[in-house]
Amino acid sequence: MARPIRIDCLQYANWSEKIFRQMRKGGVDAVHVTIAYHELFRETVTRFEEWNRRFERHADLIMPGYWAEDVDIARKTGRTAIFFGFQNCSPMEDDIGLVEILHRLGARFMQLSYNNQSLLATGCYEAEDPGITRMGREVIREMNRVGLVVDMSHSAERSTLEAIELSTRPIAITHANPLSWHAALRNKSDDVLRALGQSGGMLGFSLYPHHLRDGGACTLSGFCDMVARTAELMGMEHIGIGSDLVQDQPDSVVDWMRSGRWTKGVDLGEGSKANPGFPRQPDWFRDNRDFPTVEKGLRAAGFSAEDVARIMGGNWLAFFEKSFRPAAP
């Protein structure tokens, strides 16, 4: 029997041939790659240029992903399709017209906020959450029109619930876990997860240690049991993987991710004063070669082969099929 489609809907690595070969070793057919945190438009264009060079140098391992069909092309040609996304709305600056331009350049996901308040929505580290802003409502409408997925992974509760309600197309939380399982500020309440499932949206389970119960010591069985409980809450067709794998990045990159340009200090975020850098990955998920291990854990937790195939990539592929192309006029 053919192995299931494997799609990881969030990674941010120090990209190299080594990592691309690990993707192939793990049979990863598609990855949603973060190419911007706080970059403005011109800086983001530079990130696209850098990836174009990677596609040229490693054409036997990776290819650009624009549409759902590209996952099948990548799978048939033994490559990994790379889909682009932003973890903040910085690339569109304060110009709604750039939403369409960014989609045409290849972006397929955009978070409305990172940890802080943005022009569009509130981040999960703010003390108050006034919800989606006036500009945010307009940008959601434009994202729905062009086929740029609304991602609320780092957004606060009210903002996330309002985005689910306002968006005419299903939204995504590409990398997070249930707050009821582990009380990280980035994880999502049952109310959010229930609304996400009822609206047709998608949750990608995070394997980043700050989002896991017991951090890097989280067990595979504990993770898979959490997946099973979330499937009962949201529905099997609304869950997938968004590992938030950060590989081979120096700890200095944490400052850019968390602090950007908004502070002269250091925002430790979900780290601690004792360990502000990147945490240790669980032994059972160190890099892309370990996706088969996650599949085995899901089977051991009682999931059928069909449901494992959905979680590992089938659900994301269905979401891609209905999300990336412009809406019908």
Please say if the pLDDT value at position 58 is more than 80: yes
Is residue 275 very low, low, confident or very high in pLDDT (cuts 50, 70, 90)? low
Average pLDDT over residues 118-124: 98
Q: How far apart are CA 263 and CA 86, in angstroms?
A: 20
> Which CATH fold topology does 7-323 show?
TIM Barrel (3.20.20)
Q: How far apart are CA 169 and CA 141, in angstroms?
A: 9
Question: Over the stretch 126-148, which tens digit does the pLDDT of each residue have?
Answer: 999 999 999 999 999 999 999 99
Alpha carbon 9 to its chain centroid, in Å, reads 5
Question: Over the stretch 199-216, which tens digit does the pLDDT of each residue have?
Answer: 999 999 999 999 999 999
In this structure, which amino acid lies at residue 234?
M
| Average pLDDT value for the chain | 96
Question: Over the stretch 226-267, which tens digit does the pLDDT of each residue have?
Answer: 999 999 999 999 999 999 999 999 988 888 888 899 998 877
Please say if the pLDDT value at position 158 is more than 80: yes
Place of tokens 């940008």: 139
In this structure, which amino acid lies at residue 107?
A
Residue-range domain boundaries for the chain: 7-323
Cβ neighbourhood burial of 97 (10 Å; 0-12, 13-18, 19+): exposed
Other CB atoms within 10 Å distance of the CB of residue 191: 12
- Tally the residues of the chain: 329
Query: Using an 8 Å Cβ cutoff, are 148 and 103 in contact?
Result: yes
Q: How far apart are CA 239 and CA 9, in angstroms?
A: 11
